[in-house]
Amino acid sequence: MRFKLAVLPGDGIGPDVIAEAVKVLEAVAGRFGHSFDMSYGPVGGAAIDETGTALPGDVLKMCRRADAVLLGAVGGPKWDDPQAKVRPEDGLLALRKGLGLFANLRPVKAFPVLVDSTNLKPEVIRGVDFIFVRELTGGLYFGRPKRQWRTSRGRRAVDSMVYSEQEIERIVRVGFELARRRKKKLISVDKANVLESSRLWRQVATEVAAEYPDVELEHMLIDACSMRIIQNPRYLDVLVTENTFGDIVTDEASMLAGSMGMLPSASLAGVPREGVKIPGMYEPIHGSAPRRAGLDMANPIATILSVAMMLRYSFALPGEAAAVEAAVDAVLDEGYRTYDIMDEGKTRVGTKEMGNLIAGKVEG
Ligand code: IPM
Ligand code: MG
């Protein structure tokens, strides 16, 4: 099969990890007889330097024409001035909105070989395997009004947590669809004891549940959820929540996996269903780590696992996705580690060698 791919390496270690993910994708192409047409474009700080905007119009167009987008990372101290008119993160938000990527999937898995190298007790971490579905194009990130102004009594600012029932319905549906294919348990996370938008969220989630009688729905408050993530993460399977809550708790949850360098993500423009190809954007959950850029240090696994998610959700190639995931497991089992997951008695490798090893396993 033939697929069109937009590749946006971005800033910092973005280009480092993207190069390895592309290697792995080429290995998939070779072994399974697919072809991936890749076009590259700048986003984030790289785009600001080149064009003055964080997402040039022709790059957005290229992404719209593609079957999927592969993104590295954006941002860095160079563009961090709070007074700046344009920020690298604007590029990411414009991509999410411009491509209609309302569903952000963030799987959190404790790799057996890494349970001893996290900051938490191995007996709490072992066997952790859940997935957060984060709403990505609504809530505080995009709600209006959103501004800062001066009054006679000083400065004021407002952000708005706005949700329509349609926005809630489609994201909750993503949660139910995933739950149906896993343990048939969905946790909807909100702050319904305080927030009006959460009360609507809870009502709509309960209404959609009627269409999924095979899935058990539980409501959980966001504060209790963030406690549960540390206290008993094995309790969790599929969770769905709004944009800002999801942003915060997925960073927290990433610590269960040992390193942010291990966690992939998918941002989808539709509800994932078996055998259906959905346009999407795939990126590691970590940032641009500017101090590590170009040093052949960064862990490319999160980006490589993002490629596996792309194969699964945008290309409907579950076998190929599983081959990539198995290759990552095999290389970890053999004891290879980048600096962020290095442990006694293991073999330390750089970004490129890690990519070569995984691509080699995919080739078989
Ligand atoms: C994330 C990031 C982004 C977000 C930033 C870079 C705008 O933290 O993808 O979680 O807040 O969504
Ligand atoms: Mg975040």
> 65: left (phi > 0), else alpha (psi -120 to 50), else beta?
alpha
Three-state DSSP state, 43: coil
- Active site (annotated) includes residue 141: yes
- Domain membership of residue 55 (yes or no) is yes
- The answer to whether residues 188 and 243 belong to one domain is yes
Residue with CA nearest ligand 1 atom 6: 89
Of 11, 104, 13, the C-alpha closest to 54 is 11
pLDDT at 114: 85
Straight-line distance from the first to the last Cα atom of the chain, in angstroms, rounded to the nearest whole number:
20
pTM flag (> 0.75): yes
Of 35, 30, 78, the C-alpha closest to 54 is 78
The 8-class DSSP code of residue 242 comes to -
pLDDT at 118: 83
- Domain membership of residue 265 (yes or no) is no
Instruction: Determine the distance separating the centroid of ligand 1 and the alpha carbon of 213, expressed in angstroms.
Output: 34
325 vs 28: CA distance, rounded Å: 12
* Ligand 1 binding residues, C-beta < 6 A: 89, 92, 247
Ligand 1 site-directed mutation target among 43, 89, 136, 140, most atoms within 8 Å of CB: 89
Residue with CA nearest ligand 1 atom 2: 247
Cis, peptide link before residue 300, omega less than 30° from 0:
no
- The answer to whether residues 138 and 249 belong to one domain is yes
CB 258 within 8 A of CB 118: yes
Instruction: Determine the distance separating the centroid of ligand 1 and the alpha carbon of 243, expressed in angstroms.
Output: 10
pLDDT at 112: 86
- The answer to whether residues 127 and 65 belong to one domain is no
49 vs 43: CA distance, rounded Å: 10
- The answer to whether residues 132 and 100 belong to one domain is no
CB 299 within 8 A of CB 264: no
143 vs 141: CA distance, rounded Å: 6
197 vs 245: CA distance, rounded Å: 12
Q: 257, 291, 326: which is the final residue of a domain?
A: 257
What's 226's domain CATH number? 3.40.718.10
- Domain membership of residue 283 (yes or no) is yes
For the stretch 30-73, pLDDT in tens is 999 999 999 999 999 999 999 999 999 999 999 999 999 999 99
The residues pairing with 347 across neighbouring beta strands, listed in sequence order, are 336
114 vs 125: CA distance, rounded Å: 10
- Domain membership of residue 262 (yes or no) is no
- Domain membership of residue 5 (yes or no) is yes
- Active site (annotated) includes residue 40: no
Instruction: Determine the distance separating the centroid of ligand 2 and the alpha carbon of 244, expressed in angstroms.
Output: 9
- The answer to whether residues 72 and 39 belong to one domain is yes
In the chain, the amino acid numbered 63 is C
pLDDT at 82: 82
- Domain membership of residue 270 (yes or no) is no
Q: Per-residue b/e over 59-75, b at no fewer than 16 CB within 10 Å?
A: bbebbeebbbbbbbbbb
Ligand at shortest distance from the CA of 93:
1
- The one catalytic residue in 247, 329, 346, 352 is 247
- The one catalytic residue in 129, 237, 251, 329 is 251
Q: 257, 289, 324: which is the final residue of a domain?
A: 257
Cβ count within 10 A of residue 159: 16
- Domain membership of residue 333 (yes or no) is yes
Q: 226, 257, 288: which is the final residue of a domain?
A: 257
- The answer to whether residues 104 and 136 belong to one domain is no
- The answer to whether residues 130 and 234 belong to one domain is yes
CB 278 within 8 A of CB 241: no
- Active site (annotated) includes residue 4: no
The residues pairing with 130 across neighbouring beta strands, listed in sequence order, are 108
- The answer to whether residues 203 and 249 belong to one domain is yes
Characterize the bridge pairing of strands 280-284 and 264-268: antiparallel
Determine the structural domain holding residue 101 and report its residue range. 1-109+277-364
Tokens of 189: 């996370």
132 vs 300: CA distance, rounded Å: 21
- The answer to whether residues 233 and 140 belong to one domain is yes
Residues of the chain where predicted confidence (pLDDT) is lower than 70 = none
Three-state DSSP state, 259: coil
- The answer to whether residues 138 and 228 belong to one domain is yes
Of 137, 248, 238, the C-alpha closest to 191 is 248
- Active site (annotated) includes residue 85: no
- The one catalytic residue in 16, 67, 109, 141 is 141
User: Looking at the 3D structure of the chain, how many domains does it have?
Assistant: 2
Q: Which helix (H) or strand (E) holds 9?
A: strand 2-10
The residues pairing with 186 across neighbouring beta strands, listed in sequence order, are 217, 238
Ligand at shortest distance from the CA of 287:
1
Ligand 1 site-directed mutation target among 71, 132, 137, 247, most atoms within 8 Å of CB: 247
- Domain membership of residue 266 (yes or no) is no
Ligand 1 site-directed mutation target among 11, 79, 80, 92, most atoms within 8 Å of CB: 92
- The answer to whether residues 138 and 251 belong to one domain is yes
Cβ count within 10 A of residue 94: 16
- The answer to whether residues 94 and 4 belong to one domain is yes
Residue with CA nearest ligand 1 atom 5: 89
Residue with CA nearest ligand 1 atom 11: 247
